[in-house]
Chains A and B, each alone.
Chain A
């Protein structure tokens, strides 16, 4: 493997100074599950790796009204967090399916978005959770919405000398549920053919018959039964991964649903709009037409799953239980 030196600063400022000192020759490393692989595959050849692992406090998940995730928080820590599973469920769904236990023990959510693959599992959950990204350099700090963070496949807006120091996720509205589905062939160690996230905030958290969600009835049947409850969607966000050069929000689809009563016909329209907005390609893992078809199916299901998590919160069941 390419030779590199490995430095372990003790503070963020020290890390930033080292990056400034070495410039393009250096790269930050958090877990290393992407960086070391890229060095081995020769798509990256830094002469110096600056490790963040030795800096205390970066592996904290904090909640002070907003959820704050540091750059050394592993996917495993997210997977095990009761708070994230209950209140920010889409992110927990992503942590469940990302890589493998071994990868999750080492890899980080911040690292996942900095590698910026359009398929990044944590990306669309963070998009629908309205995440802000805090970025620090020797010149100061800036905070940007995660929508503005991705520039292209594998590219972020991080300038030379910048480091992501925190992901900030605001407390959702009451009666909010979120979900992420990774469409993959294997149950682990796979990249998604398609990733779909949704977040829905409703005007209430009970329906007259929540048991219908526990059946294997077709989704249209369940939605027709729920129409009598006249659930209003106060806020909705839909994220699509592997459907464009960057993880994207299906904004036009969202606009159709926001403020409206939930119904089968409307969700069908929303799903079709999302499918039209997406820009999937033909790739190794699937062709564009298939991705468009699956967006139609899975956007509807992920909105349903988000609603289920509002009206049946005691059963935060992994999205695999679908209709």
Chain B
């Protein structure tokens, strides 16, 4: 079947791609656009490692049809740095609070945290837990992640 061409905003920059229609958004980001920050773990929308933000809202890119991002804005973990190359406050908080061990859940976790704080700048602990409930971490036990997000929310 013929490839499809479409445009969208990726990490703030307009981009045009031409892909087979049966790829997933994750494959588009990792394999074609070589943005390997977004990870594949379960591949079925059950772990959140593949989380990216679509118009600011977290989605599982491993099960998302890429043609649906046409005209929309996608943010990957690579897009969190500022123009000078400084880490986002959430990324800094994760580092300071030991919220990263193997790092595999981290891109998705940070993006879920960003979406949460953008919508709810001063979340309660329960709201944080609900906000990141779609991101599994096998290493940390989540405590440091909760502390990092709380710290990041206090800074904004």
Contacts and interface: CB of A to CB of B under 8 A. Distances in A.
B134 A188 contact: yes
B133 interface: yes
A101 B112 contact: yes
Contacts of A36: 24, 45, 63-65
Interface in B39-86: 43-48, 51, 54, 57-60, 63-65, 67-68
Contact of A4 (B22, B54, B58): B22
Nearest to A101: B134
A301 B84 CA distance: 56
Nearest to B20: A3
A5 B43 CA distance: 20
A36 B59 CA distance: 14
Contacts, number: 86
B103 interface: no
A101 B58 contact: yes
B112 to A, nearest CB: 7
B129 interface: yes
Contact of A1 (B24, B46, B133): B24
Interface in A4-58: 4-6, 8, 29, 32-33, 36-37, 40-41, 49, 51, 53
Nearest to B54: A105
A5 B1 CA distance: 7
Nearest to A49: B65
Interface residues of A, number: 28
A40 B1 contact: no
Given A36-B24, A189-B133, A102 B51 contact: yes
A99 B46 CA distance: 8
Measured as residues with beta carbon below 8 angstroms from the partner, the interface class of chain B is: 20 to 34
B133 A187 contact: yes
B115 to A, nearest CB: 8
A76 to B, nearest CB: 8
A129 B115 CA distance: 32
B44 A4 contact: no
A102 B22 contact: no
Interface string A88-119: 00000000000111110110000000000000
Nearest to A99: B134
Nearest to A107: B45
Contacts of A321: none
Contact of A37 (B45, B129, B133): B45
Interface string B112-133: 1001000000000000011101
B10 interface: no
Contact of A103 (B20, B60, B115, B131): B60
B21 interface: yes
B138 interface: no
B151 interface: no
Interface string B86-107: 0000000000000000000000
B117 to A, nearest CB: 13
B133 A2 contact: no
Contacts of A53: 68
A8 B134 contact: no
A106 B64 CA distance: 8
Contacts of B46: 189
B112 A6 contact: no
A1 B40 CA distance: 14
Interface string B8-34: 000000000000111010000000000
Those 7 A-B pairs whose CB atoms lie nearest each other, nearest first: A100-B134, A188-B133, A6-B21, A36-B63, A102-B134, A5-B1, A102-B60
10 contacts: A2-B22, A4-B21, A5-B1, A8-B67, A37-B45, A40-B43, A51-B65, A105-B59, A187-B129, A188-B130
Given A8-B67, A99-B134, 4 more contacts: A5-B1, A101-B112, A187-B129, A187-B130
Interface of B: 1, 4, 20-22, 24, 43-48, 51, 54, 57-60, 63-65, 67-68, 112, 115, 129-131, 133-136
